[in-house]
Structure 1
Amino acid sequence: MTNAPVIVWFRNDLRLADHAALHAAVDSGRPVLPVYILDDTADRWAMGDASRWWLHHSLAALAQALTGVGSHLTLRRGDSVATITEIARKTGAAEIFTGGSADPGARQVNQEAVKALDGKLRQMRTTTLFHPDSVRTKTGAAYSVYTPFANACLALGGPKLPLPAPDKIPTADAPKSDRLEDWNLLPTKPDWAAGLRDTWTPGEAGAIARTEAFLAHGLTHYPDARDHPADDGTSMLSPHLHFGEISGVQLWHMAHRHQAGKGREMFIRELLWREFCANLLWNNPGLPDAPLRLEFERMPWRNDKPGRVAWQKGRTGVPIVDAGMRQLWQTGWMHNRVRMIVASFLVKHLMIPWQDGEAWFWDTLVDADLASNAGNWQWVAGCGADAAPYFRIFNPILQSRKFDADGDYIRHFVPELDRLGPRHIHAPWEAPAEALANAGVTLGKTYPNPIVDLAIGRARALEAYGQIRSRA
């Protein structure tokens, strides 16, 4: 059938620019049918609520962008392989173009789809800077340490230039589409998404706008400002990257259009850390569930439900930890420095398994990326590749005083401490009674006492680490 359409199966690449699968479909000269499938039959790593909120708005933006170039987006819900096979059969599609990813679930879907579609599936790279198999050691092994991995990526000379968005997409007759509103991706009652709406503009246009603003105004100050959570010092591009509203390739080349300097170098290194996590997941599909360092399977974790709930709700009594967890709940995002602090507090001071924290982040982050989430939690826990040593235990009070010296970040997200001065806001249990009374703070009532003595928690963690090392 010379008139047979081709399908573009969108995944975590919800954009028109630098989209290899879309570009190949348009270049085929055939009518193009863009499709997105919501698969709720996935394993426990099915999309969390915050990500579903983002997905709704990202798909709405993609549909609008496709309309602008003469096309339309078909939405279907169901098992990925069965649904794409049905659409291909009913439309008589000649080929199906789709992206690839390091996610083991997505890789399994692609493997099954290759068989179900009788060889018509064309897999393209749409989510990473380089194909994971192209970044290898001299012996052909996968990298397990970040710095040599990053240097190997840099030695490749950078990714190819991004592909342009199509000016026009030849339209194919589309099968019946679901209504996005019928997917119920948005919260109803209670409506917990007000902070998300105030913080984010999902979609390709929003991603480009945030990137341009950051590169123009934030790149120069990035090396220092990125560590201070009260400042607008990070790019906040992680959810746009996760949903593929902008590609790492685009960011790489947009950053290189700016003057060389420490800010640009550090930003590129952060992109490469994200690439490193994807590479780890590609080569270690069990990364989200099991420690890479096998001795951590013997770690004597604690089943501390009250502690876990206090951490989730931002009620630990440690202000910087509570501020981070409340920022996460309100905005679906948390500052990177604070992510390390709250993660270290959970796995080291509370001795709660890193998988519990990983699962909570997965459900509450708008940038919940399987590779980055698993890789970073294992890094903090000390059990992953190139991990921070387990005995490196963040002191949340010292971190707070160093990176939020005036307490502005804490005041914003823990308003019950607003009237405490910089001297006492980081550790209110150390404040004299008069200072607490003047600030209207009653420990145990208006704000909780710490759920763990930090010195005792640290000693307990070091003892546990010593136990697993002695058995190695």
Structure 2
Amino acid sequence: MPKFERGLMWFRRDLRLEDNATLVQALRECRRLFCVFVFDTDILSTLPADDRRVAFIDDCITELDAELRAAGGGLIVRHEAAHKAIPDLARSLNADAVFAGRDYEPEAKSRDQRVAAALKLEQRHFLQCKDQAIFEMDEILNGQGEPYKVFTAYKNAWLKALRPTHIEPFINQPPSGTLAPPPAQLTQRPSLNDIGFGHPAHPIPVATGSRGAQGLLADFLPRMDLYHERRDFPAVKGPSYLSVHLRFGTISIRALAREAYPAMQAGSVGAATWLSELIWRDFYFMILHHFPHVAGQAFRPEYDSISWECGPEADKLFRAWCDGITGYPIVDAAMRQLNQTGYMHNRLRMVVASFLTKDLGIDWRRGEQYFARQLNDFDLSANNGGWQWAASTGCDAQPYFRIFNPITQSRKFDAQGHVIRRYVPELAALSSKDIHAPWLAQPTALVHAGITLGVSYPMPIVDHGCARKVTLARYGILKD
């Protein structure tokens, strides 16, 4: 029997009906269930008016609303601070309980605490469900009952703990409640213009909503067995490209694990490698939950004492990195791809992060914040974890002495220069040998390609070999 007469489902990072753990629980526990999405002004106020992620979300909730209406309900859409909108809406609907998928980010936790406190004052319940992780918070601990700090050990424990029930889909089965259509006074939905945004000139280049996510998954599955061979090459169709859909929950993590885990058990190395990437996601959620200080500080406090470059010269170098004019073609291609599309291949994320922190000596937090503004799939836990890994300040960190050589990385992972030619077209006429380091090319090759270094394309803003020595000194040990 339902516990509550009326409930409110607050969609957040789970913009789908299929395999939605929170929605299924809410329908089981409520006789009638209303649904809401909030364009939270506390979040939107920090974003530029052409942020492509807001338009992506708007398209996703359009599809979600249509699916809810087909099922007898509908989506209430509010534009307001969520900590105020949700209690007010629960009051106006006389909802006994509000349901939401659990979030692990410090600011989201603080918001949810405010919502829970406001609801409690009116004898209403706030119930959170696990949906965006397979294992969360304290579900995977080491032998001493403490959180893991090294990924490999965590991954082994994760795989040992996994049972088929952990990745089964959540299906709404009777007896259960029914979806309720929004009251007439709450049916008007704000447009993008109403909330201060517009359709970007360059939208996120993937199909939106659950249908878009399912289409990408269907495209990836025939390639999954080769994932381990292709995933490091940015010019090759190797990844699943599902990260933005995982970020906004238009597909469930369980749906992906249901494909990867059986294939891994059947011997697919590609599936095992892909599943490992999904486990990284759980790992970083867990780290952020247990060690929230990482949102602004180094995971290992001793690394907060690193003396990063600062001042006008560092600002100039940082701007060159942001704009993709460092003189290192692979770095510039990656940053221009990010700026133009909001996407960057994972291998390139590591290359540019290493370059910023270990070639330019600039604080990883500046790069993290820039990625947060630009990435379509920005997720605080994964973005922070990746940056701290590159800067050697985090858990499971890259050793401080491992410094990516951008030329070597370019030659190995973009050997023909396909990515460089696409995003740094001024170098397109160079040979595959010269395109990775134009300053090493013969003068005649540069003339033939129409390139004047320092004019049509910059000279390197830093010498990698010299920068490496400075970095080793910065981290406390200098090795020739």
Q: CA distance change for structure 1 residues 136 and 69 in 2, over 3 Å: closer, same or farther?
A: same
Cross-structure match for 1:135: 140
Check conservation: 1:52, 1:185, Cα contact below 8 A. no
Deviations 1:378-413 (A, max 9, x none): 010000001001111000000100111111111111
Counterpart code for 1:97: F
1:330 aligns with 2:337: no
Cross-structure match for 1:181: 192
Cross-structure match for 2:458: 448
- Indicate the SS of the match to 1:235: coil
1:54 to 53, 56, 60: 56
Equivalents in 1 of 2:385, 2:230: separation in Å? 24
- Indicate the SS of the match to 1:36: strand
Equivalents in 2 of 1:112, 1:323: separation in Å? 43
Check conservation: 1:17, 1:165, Cα contact below 8 A. no
2:202 to 182, 193, 199: 193
What TM-score does the superposition give when structure 2 sets the normalisation length? 0.91
Equivalents in 2 of 1:342, 1:165: separation in Å? 44
Counterpart code for 1:130: F
Q: CA distance change for structure 1 residues 425 and 390 in 2, over 3 Å: closer, same or farther?
A: same
Cross-structure match for 1:292: 299
Equivalents in 2 of 1:75, 1:44: separation in Å? 17
Q: CA distance change for structure 1 residues 279 and 34 in 2, over 3 Å: closer, same or farther?
A: same
Check conservation: 2:3, 2:29, Cα contact below 8 A. no
Deviations 1:429-467 (A, max 9, x none): 000110011111111111111111111111111111117
Equivalents in 2 of 1:396, 1:144: separation in Å? 29
Cross-structure match for 2:15: 14
* Mapping 1:427-466, distance limit 5 Å: 427-466=437-476
1:232 to 231, 237, 247: 237
Equivalents in 1 of 2:87, 2:323: separation in Å? 43
* Mapping 1:404-419, distance limit 5 Å: 404-419=414-429
1:416 is displaced (CA, Å) by 0.9
Equivalents in 2 of 1:432, 1:411: separation in Å? 19
1:15 is displaced (CA, Å) by 1.0
* Mapping 1:119-268, distance limit 5 Å: 119-158=124-163, 159-164=166-171, 169-174=178-183, 175-176=185-186, 177-184=188-195, 186-187=197-198, 191-194=200-203, 196=204, 199-216=205-222, 218-256=223-261, 258=263, 259-268=266-275
Cross-structure match for 2:102: 100
* Mapping 1:287-366, distance limit 5 Å: 287-303=294-310, 304-366=314-376
Equivalents in 2 of 1:11, 1:344: separation in Å? 33
1:112 to 103, 111, 114: 114
Cross-structure match for 1:67: 69
1:85 is displaced (CA, Å) by 0.5
Equivalents in 1 of 2:471, 2:100: separation in Å? 45
Counterpart code for 1:64: A
Check conservation: 1:38, 1:78, Cα contact below 8 A. yes
Where does the alignment leave 5 or more consecutive residues of structure 1 unmatched?
A: none
1:257 is displaced (CA, Å) by 5.0
Deviations 1:161-192 (A, max 9, x none): 0113689953244352432334446546xx44
1:148 is displaced (CA, Å) by 0.7
Equivalents in 1 of 2:14, 2:363: separation in Å? 32
Deviations 1:77-111 (A, max 9, x none): 22222111000111101221111021111212222
Counterpart code for 1:146: F
Counterpart code for 1:17: E
1:221 is displaced (CA, Å) by 1.4
CA RMSD of aligned residues (A): 2.4
Counterpart code for 2:179: P
Q: CA distance change for structure 1 residues 248 and 2 in 2, over 3 Å: closer, same or farther?
A: closer
1:53 is displaced (CA, Å) by 3.2
- Indicate the SS of the match to 2:129: strand
Q: CA distance change for structure 1 residues 3 and 144 in 2, over 3 Å: closer, same or farther?
A: closer
Q: CA distance change for structure 1 residues 3 and 240 in 2, over 3 Å: closer, same or farther?
A: closer
Q: CA distance change for structure 1 residues 183 and 351 in 2, over 3 Å: closer, same or farther?
A: farther
Q: CA distance change for structure 1 residues 415 and 187 in 2, over 3 Å: closer, same or farther?
A: farther
1:56 is displaced (CA, Å) by 2.2
Structure 1 ranges of 4+ moved more than 4 A? 1-4, 42-48, 165-169, 183-188
Cross-structure match for 1:36: 37
Equivalents in 1 of 2:260, 2:196: separation in Å? 34
Check conservation: 1:11, 1:98, Cα contact below 8 A. yes
Equivalents in 1 of 2:249, 2:340: separation in Å? 23
Equivalents in 2 of 1:73, 1:5: separation in Å? 15
- Indicate the SS of the match to 2:143: coil
Check conservation: 1:19, 1:165, Cα contact below 8 A. no
Equivalents in 2 of 1:413, 1:184: separation in Å? 33
Equivalents in 2 of 1:150, 1:185: separation in Å? 43
- Indicate the SS of the match to 1:12: coil
What TM-score does the superposition give when structure 1 sets the normalisation length? 0.93
- Indicate the SS of the match to 1:211: helix
2:393 to 383, 393, 404: 383
1:4 is displaced (CA, Å) by 4.4
Equivalents in 2 of 1:3, 1:110: separation in Å? 21
- Indicate the SS of the match to 1:101: coil
Equivalents in 1 of 2:45, 2:146: separation in Å? 30
Counterpart code for 2:26: A
Equivalents in 1 of 2:226, 2:288: separation in Å? 32
- Indicate the SS of the match to 2:189: coil
Counterpart code for 1:443: L
- Indicate the SS of the match to 2:354: helix
Equivalents in 2 of 1:319, 1:53: separation in Å? 31
Between 307-316 and 256-265, the greater mean CA deviation after superposition: 256-265
Cross-structure match for 1:278: 285
